[in-house]
Structure 1
């Protein structure tokens, strides 16, 4: 073989290696967020709102960054003013442009205690939340029963529905209708119908918080005296927050208020709990619920503690 001769196959191999050498140093286009303190984070922007950027970074995984800390943005290698993203985010955040969303859960807790007093408890709680455009709807149903030594000590159910209509990105009007039936307390039936303004402080995939003030018409039916009808005001709140990359969810909801007149004075009903996902559709939940009513016929002080399993969708 003559020295220096290159076969066609060798020539193709060297050409392939040369092309690889030229292409290897070329960086892939990525997104870069420059922060106000001079730091930069490189990755892929997954989502952005007027309050938050969500970035899949190269080194730290998915990050959530407050929008106020982002100074400038390089979008696929080209610098784009932050104001352009904020304008687009505000437009996409208009209530009438909000997409359809639906979520719900069913929590069930069953307890049996065999001691000097045999106790059986069943607690079922169902929630459904649907939103699209300017409308948001929330349904809730619950049932609780307790037996001690085969004697019923508590037995009640409650249904509630709250429609909300947004008049701006954060302000809304809320209605609420609720009914509760209790077979063991002197306040055997409660029916309330209310309406009032509300304000959504924030609503992201990680956290949400809203307040509303309601003027309600109430009807209480008693086991030992005539029914009572009265008006009342109430402050209602809804809060949830995900922690540690959605490993835990803390949630709180409730309402408190006073009657303008009548035998019933102060009312307070609230629930606070923690939900831990076991799978994509099953979770473990722990919660405490309080139902207090100051009334001339009976001062109601019920506090329930729940530990159970939940199904999410």
Structure 2
């Protein structure tokens, strides 16, 4: 009888969490880390270490792991289990409740983030009074929503400048509105299919509406928390309507797009993105190119300042209009 009681006591002691202990990662090479399991997604486990901070490890590098508090496991068979886990055989963990073994290949996610929108709103305004009165405004809104099966992206950009001298009427030197939306579907690892639509109106360039609809494939060359770089390539159909309807045109095009963000410091990041849309019908004559390069500095919580160069090229603008446009933009923004 005493042997059975002692055995039950030892088993209970083994399976119950011990106060003061932390979650533990055990790597295949024998290394161990203590801290807290944050989440697992796309085959990568994020772990907050007591010593080195946040660590991301591929599950195929792990022997096993254990937790001191229940975690939410989303399994590949559709079940969701909330339980503490303990170390088990290589490539698996064991549920503390019913002691059933769960292989890493059976786990789709751990503690997934609730789906929500993330993005930023940046705005810059300049009003000058004197011999020359001028008004300038820049608004840039970005939003994205990510889930396992898809990703949505949305962007709205507005740029407006006007000036006057000696009490004359204002002369508009820049008036641009561009709206873009994109839908991504993961294919395998870092690859994804995308479908993209864009509408643009440029009053100064006499462009009533430019519509670009396209699709293609993207690849995340670098996907780290401090360094991200992705490229996209595909085909699109471009339709341009001008004030002078004799200039209206449409044509098939290829599209190459890139987006790079690199943290230079805890509060400073560098970004560069671009889009090249050459016509497949008149490759050497009709091309659109947009690039944006700048620095972003984190200020108070959620707030940031940024300075960037925005350059655009249209090799066939409306008659009498400029082929190139370069803007120096300084803005204050809020991230969410």
TM-score (norm 2): 0.68
CA 1:140/1:27 → structure 2, altered by over 3 Å: closer, same or farther?
Answer: closer
Aligned position for 1:157: 177
Aligned position for 1:219: 239
Report 1:10-89 matches (<5 A). Answer: 28-31=20-23, 42-47=34-39, 54-59=46-51, 62-64=53-55, 75=66, 83-84=91-92, 88=104
Q: Secondary structure at the match of 2:281?
A: coil
Q: What is the Cα deviation at residue 67 of structure 1?
A: 5.1
Q: What is the Cα deviation at residue 119 of structure 1?
A: 3.0
Deviations, residues 85-109 of structure 1 (Å, cap 9, x unaligned): 9x74895369xx8852321221110
Q: Secondary structure at the match of 1:92?
A: strand
Q: What is the Cα deviation at residue 70 of structure 1?
A: 6.6
Aligned position for 1:112: 127
Q: 190, 202, 224: which is aligned to 1:182?
A: 202
Aligned position for 2:81: none
Establish whether residue 277 from structure 1 lines up as the match of residue 298 from structure 2.
Answer: yes
Contact 1:220–1:229 (CA<8 Å) still a contact in 2?
Answer: yes
Establish whether residue 208 from structure 1 lines up as the match of residue 219 from structure 2.
Answer: no
Contact 2:63–2:92 (CA<8 Å) still a contact in 1?
Answer: no
The whole-number CA distance in structure 1 between the counterparts of 2:309 and 2:49 is: 38
CA 1:250/1:33 → structure 2, altered by over 3 Å: closer, same or farther?
Answer: farther
Q: 139, 156, 169: which is aligned to 1:141?
A: 156
Q: 285, 310, 313: which is aligned to 2:333?
A: 310
The CA RMSD measured in Å over matched residues stands at 3.7
Worse-matched range after superposition: 279-288 or 63-72 = 63-72
**Structure 2: segments with no counterpart, 5+ residues:** 1-17, 69-85, 94-102, 165-169
- In the alignment of these two chains, the number of paired residues is 283
CA 1:273/1:219 → structure 2, altered by over 3 Å: closer, same or farther?
Answer: same
Q: What is the Cα deviation at residue 128 of structure 1?
A: 1.4
Aligned position for 1:295: 316
Q: Secondary structure at the match of 1:311?
A: strand
- Structure ID, larger Rg: 1
